[in-house]
Copies of this chain bind each other. A is one copy, B any other.
Amino acid sequence: MTTLTSKDIVRALKPLVGDGGALLADPLEMKSYLTEPRKRFHVPAVAVALPGSVAALQAICRWANQHRVPLVPQSGNTGLVGGQVPLSGTEVIVNLSRINRVREVNAAAGHMTVEAGLILEEAHKVAEAAGTIFPLWLASQGSARIGGVLSSNAGGVQVLAYGNARELTLGVEAVLADGRLYHGLNALKKDNTGYDLKDLLVGAEGTLGFITAATVKLFPIPEAQETALINVADPAVALQLFYLLRERAGSRLTAFELMNRFGIDLQLNYGLLPRDPTASPSPWYVLAEVNRMKGGASGALQAALEEALASGLVADAVVAESEADRTLMWAAREQMSEVQSKEGASIKHDVSVPIGAVPQLIAEGSAAVERAIPGVRPCPFGHMGDGNIHFNFSQPAGADPKAFMAREAGANAAVYEVVRKLGGSVSAEHGIGQLKSALLRQVKDPVALEMMQAIKAALDPNGILNPGKVL
Q: Is A212 an interface residue (CB 8 A)?
A: no
Cβ B352 vs Cβ A189 within 8 A: yes
Q: Is A303 an interface residue (CB 8 A)?
A: yes
Chain B nearest Cβ from A124, distance in angstroms: 18
Q: Is A331 an interface residue (CB 8 A)?
A: no
Chain B residues, Cβ within 8 Å of A470: 194-195
Evaluate whether A454 and B459 lie within 8 angstroms (CB atoms) in the complex, with A159-B189, A425-B188 already known.
yes
Q: Is A438 an interface residue (CB 8 A)?
A: no
Q: Give 1 or 0 for each of A178-200: 1 = CB within 8 Å of chain B CB.
A: 00111110111111111111011
Evaluate whether A190 and B159 lie within 8 angstroms (CB atoms) in the complex, with A196-B203, A243-B108 already known.
yes
Q: Is A401 an interface residue (CB 8 A)?
A: no
Cβ A429 vs Cβ B190 within 8 A: yes
Instruction: Kindly identify which residue among B159, B208, B297, B447 contacts A297, using a CB–CB cutoff of 8 Å.
Output: B297
Cβ A176 vs Cβ B440 within 8 A: no
Measured between alpha carbons, how far is A303 from B186 in the docked complex, in Å?
A: 34
Give A280-326 interface residues, CB cut-off 8 Å to B.
Answer: 291, 293-297, 300, 303-304, 307
Cβ B354 vs Cβ A190 within 8 A: no
Give the interface centre of A184, A188, A428, A459 by most chain B CB atoms within 10 Å: A188
Q: Give 1 or 0 for each of A262-276: 1 = CB within 8 Å of chain B CB.
A: 000000000000000
Cβ A293 vs Cβ B182 within 8 A: no
Q: Is A410 an interface residue (CB 8 A)?
A: no
Cβ B199 vs Cβ A200 within 8 A: yes
Closest to A292 in B: B250
Cβ B291 vs Cβ A295 within 8 A: no
Size band of the interface chain A makes with B: 35 or more
Chain B nearest Cβ from A303, distance in angstroms: 6
Chain B residues, Cβ within 8 Å of A425: 186, 188, 190-193
Evaluate whether A161 and B251 lie within 8 angstroms (CB atoms) in the complex, with A106-B354, A186-B423 already known.
yes
Q: Is A371 an interface residue (CB 8 A)?
A: no
Measured between alpha carbons, how far is A153 from B454 in the docked complex, in Å?
A: 23
Q: Is A338 an interface residue (CB 8 A)?
A: no
Chain B residues, Cβ within 8 Å of A452: 194-195, 197
Q: Is A96 an interface residue (CB 8 A)?
A: no
Give the interface centre of A243, A252, A444, A458 by most chain B CB atoms within 10 Å: A458
Measured between alpha carbons, how far is A296 from B190 in the docked complex, in Å?
A: 30
Chain B residues, Cβ within 8 Å of A457: 458
Chain B residues, Cβ within 8 Å of A153: 192, 196
Q: Is A260 an interface residue (CB 8 A)?
A: no
Evaluate whether A427 and B193 lie within 8 angstroms (CB atoms) in the complex, with A108-B243, A176-B447, A291-B250 already known.
yes
Q: Give 1 or 0 for each of A444-459: 1 = CB within 8 Å of chain B CB.
A: 1101111110110111
Measured between alpha carbons, how far is A447 from B182 in the docked complex, in Å?
A: 5
Instruction: Kindly identify which residue among B195, B353, B444 contacts A194, using a CB–CB cutoff of 8 Å.
Output: B444
Chain B residues, Cβ within 8 Å of A448: 182-184, 194, 197
Q: Is A109 an interface residue (CB 8 A)?
A: yes
Q: Is A74 an interface residue (CB 8 A)?
A: no
Measured between alpha carbons, how far is A153 from B189 in the docked complex, in Å?
A: 12
Cβ B247 vs Cβ A432 within 8 A: no
Q: Is A111 an interface residue (CB 8 A)?
A: yes
Chain B residues, Cβ within 8 Å of A444: 193-194
Closest to A171 in B: B423
Cβ B447 vs Cβ A188 within 8 A: no
Chain B residues, Cβ within 8 Å of A200: 195-196, 199-200, 455
Measured between alpha carbons, how far is A271 from B99 in the docked complex, in Å?
A: 60
Chain B residues, Cβ within 8 Å of A152: 192
Measured between alpha carbons, how far is A447 from B181 in the docked complex, in Å?
A: 7
Those 8 A-B pairs whose CB atoms lie nearest each other, nearest first: A109-B356, A297-B297, A187-B354, A458-B458, A191-B425, A251-B251, A454-B458, A199-B199
Complex A-B: 25 CB contacts under 8 Å: A108-B243, A111-B354, A166-B199, A183-B445, A186-B425, A188-B352, A189-B355, A189-B387, A190-B428, A191-B352, A192-B431, A193-B440, A194-B444, A195-B455, A196-B203, A220-B250, A247-B293, A247-B294, A251-B251, A251-B252, A252-B252, A295-B300, A295-B304, A454-B459, A455-B459
